[in-house]
Amino acid sequence: MTQPLIDIKGVTHAYQTQSGPLPVLDNLNVSVPEGGFAAVVGPSGCGKSTLTRLIAGLMKPDTGEVWLHGERVKGPRSTVGMAFQNPVLLEWRSILKNVLLPLEIVPTKLSKKEAEDRARHLLELVGLDGFEDKRPSELSGGMRQRASLCRALIHQPEVLILDEPFGALDAFTREDLWQIMHRVKEEEPFTGVLITHDLRESVFLADEVIVLSGRPATTQYRLKVPMDGPRDLEHLYTPETAEMLAILRHQIEIAQGRAPAESSEVAE
Amino acid sequence: MFQKIAVPVAAIVIFLIFWEALVWINGWPNYKMASPSDLWPAFWKFRDLFFTMGWDTLWRTVVGLGLAVVVGVGIGMIMGFSRLMRDALYPLLVGFNAIPKATVVPIVALMFVGAHDFNTVLIAFMISFFPIAVSVSIGLSTLEPEYRDILRSLGASRMTIFWKIALPKTLPEFFGALKVAVTLAFIGTNLMEIVSPHGRGLGALFDSGKTNADYPLMFAVLIALAFLGIVLYYVVVALEKIFAGWAERSPT
């Protein structure tokens, strides 16, 4: 196997709080191959968001190393795109200008016209054509999240980091966005890390699900999800999916300390 | 549009009629309470003075307010970005703001004897920079970390983040404070003009009305002050519409 695109090696991290250090990550190892899409699930407050900040170079781990594309991450880099649960669109800009924001920071070869065309194309891809000149306040939550996704992709990042981007949406909108994610991945290939609380979301979108243990988090379990191209929602209701969900649910219970731990293994 | 202009105008007219009637029914002489019909003659008699004095008041208020904006935004930025500076400066600012500015006027007048324009601008500034500094610092320090992260993760500098996100995001709070500050600056200017008059500004005209027991003149000055205050306030509202109009939700 070639070297993974995202490689997190033995990362340990603790936050300094008033009542002493609070360890959140303990010897965590995660690797995602190029074009892979890993979902990270785990109990709340187990350090999943810390993980995204480490990959994005927004924080440095206490010990251990984070590598992207064969280079050690020492600080923020322009090859990363991020989307959060809060779409954080800039209210004073149109949707199009919001999507173009990263290109004002990252050096780009695109001319102004080409950049705009690309932004329009992305907006069309997520079904927001016709909303380019609207303000974020005129859009619904799901639409804002789609615009935020376009912004994360505009500069063609190698790595897309999604920190619970669909967490605040209603169930139907969320399923909509899952399918859009498949469409986007096909047209705009990326290597992705998805933080989520939703097990169905993890097996629907990702080709590998990583279960983190409770705090301090370490890799407790890894589940490979057979993935052959885009899926439709039917996929959620197959016996295979049901079986995977059962395994993951059990692992989450272990992580929460509600079920006895067993030796962790990697299911194929 | 009709409602936006006609309703306030009608309200003002009703208010004036009520005032006139009150004075007339009670039979108050105009040294007790001037009525609206006394105001126009008083204004017309001293119209030249009203314009020159009004201009003095206006420009000194605007300069003081401009200074308050520059210094207030500066202090707000320092406190907004640095926890340490916020902890250090906040009690000082609150204490300074708590001092009634009427007590500062004689001190300033003594410190810079004769520099009347400077003193007036200084008081207008001192009384009005506090809300601006506080609102800018709160706006900056409550910026959600995700806003910073979307640009920081791309390697943007602090300055870029400030210009592209922090500053525009703070504008609605800033204009909210500016509306308070513009009225305060106006009070500051008048305070100096009345307490330590140099024969300049509407405050001085008011003071001379008082010395000469010319009540209609005093009331006419009050109305002129109200008029200037309204003008200044709506200038700020217009600026807010231009620069922070996006923060206004459409009524749909």
Q: How many domains in chain B?
A: 1
- Residue span(s) of chain A under CATH 3.40.50.300 come to 6-79+158-267
The confidence score (pLDDT) of residue B152 equals 86
Burial A44-68 (b: 16+ CB within 10 A, else e): eebbbbbbbbbbbbbbebeebebbb
Going across the sheet that includes A71-72, the strands are A20-32, A6-17, A63-68, A71-72
Separation of alpha carbons A236 and A218, rounded Å: 28
- Indicate whether B228 belongs to any domain: yes
- Chain B: residue nearest A93 by CA? B246
Chain A residue closest in CA terms to B159 = A105
Write the CA distances from A267 to A8, A196, A247, B71, integer angstroms.
20, 20, 10, 63
Instruction: Give the phi and the psi of residue A48 in degrees, each rounded to 5.
Output: -70, -40
What would the two tokens of residue A158 be?
């190698």
Cα dihedral B17, B19, B25, B27 in deg (nearest 10): -130
Q: Which amino acid is at A154?
A: I
The confidence score (pLDDT) of residue A268 equals: 44
Burial of A202 (0-12, 13-18, 19+ CB in 10 A): buried
Tokens of A146: 């789609």
- Residue B207 sits at φ, ψ, to 5 deg, of -60, -40
Q: Write out the two tokens for B166.
A: 């922090």
Nearest to A43 by CA among A152, A195, A188, A186: A195
For B224, the token pair is 């002129």
Mutant choice from B142, B148, B154 vs A, greatest count of A C-beta within 10 A: B154
> Cα Rg for chain B, rounded, in angstroms?
22
Domain annotation covers residue B113? yes
What SS3 class is residue A60?
Answer: coil
Pairing relation of β-strands A80-84 and A63-68? Answer: unpaired
Cβ separation of A138 and B156 shorter than 8 Å?
A: no
- Asked if the Cβ–Cβ distance from A106 to B247 is below 8 Å, we say no
- Residue A205's SS3 state is helix
C-alpha distance from B156 to closest chain A C-alpha (Å) = 6
- How far is residue A57's CA from residue A254's CA, in Å, rounded to a whole number? 30
**What is the distance between the terminal CA atoms of chain B, rounded to a whole angstrom?**
18
Determine the Cα–Cα distance for residues B49 and B189; give it in Å rounded to an integer: 17
Distance from CA of B93 to the nearest CA of A (A): 28
Cα B63 to Cα B74: distance, rounded to the nearest angstrom: 17
Query: Which residues 33-72 on chain A approach chain B with CB closer than 8 angstroms?
Result: 53, 56-58
CATH topology of domain A6-79+158-267: Rossmann fold (3.40.50)
> Each residue of B78-126: pLDDT tens digit?
998 888 998 999 899 999 888 888 888 888 888 887 788 888 999 999 9
* DSSP H or E stretch at residue A193: strand A191-195
Q: Which residue has the tokens 């006895």?
A: A260
What is the ipTM for the molecules in this complex? 0.76
A 10 A CB-CB count for A112 gives 10
Residue B48 in contact with partner chain A when CB distance is under 8 A: no
Contact B152 A135 (CB under 8 A): no
What does each C-alpha distance from B1 to B6, B7, B13, B151, B231 come to in angstroms? Answer: 8, 10, 19, 41, 19
Q: Measured between alpha carbons, how far is B53 from B201 in angstroms, rounded to an integer?
A: 4
Please state, in angstroms and as integers, the Cα–Cα distance from residue B146 to each residue in A41, A52, A96, A139, B40, following that order. Answer: 21, 12, 20, 19, 58
CA triple B10-B12-B15, angle to 5 deg:
110
Cβ–Cβ gap A92/B246 under 8 Å? yes
The DSSP call for residue B247 is: G
Interface contact A151, partner B, CB < 8 A: yes
A16: enclosing H helix or E strand: strand A6-17
Interface size, chain A vs chain B, as Cβ–Cβ contacts under 8 Å = 62
The answer, for A88 touching chain B at a CB cutoff of 8 Å, is: yes
CB contact under 8 A, A82 and B151: no
Q: What pLDDT score does A262 carry?
A: 60
Maximum C-alpha span of chain B: 75
A-chain residues near B155 (CB < 8 A): 75-78, 105-106
Rounded Cα gap, residues A158 and A78, in angstroms:
9
**How many helices and strands, by DSSP H and E, does chain A display?**
7, 11
Taking an 8 Å cut-off on Cβ atoms, the answer to whether A90 and B155 are in contact is no
Domain that holds residue B137: 38-245
**What's the CATH number where B207 sits?**
1.10.3720.10
From the list A36, A84, A88, the residue with the least C-alpha distance to A193 is A36
* pLDDT per residue rounded down to tens, chain B (252 residues): 778 889 989 999 999 999 999 999 998 887 788 888 888 888 888 889 889 999 999 999 999 999 999 999 999 999 988 889 989 998 999 998 888 888 888 888 888 877 888 889 999 999 999 999 999 998 888 888 888 888 888 888 888 888 888 888 889 889 999 999 999 999 999 998 888 777 788 889 998 888 888 888 888 999 999 999 999 999 999 999 988 888 776 554
And the tokens for B63? 């300069």
Stretches where chain A sits below pLDDT 70 are: 1-2, 261-268
Q: Directed axis angle between helix B116-141 and helix B83-98, to 10°?
A: 140
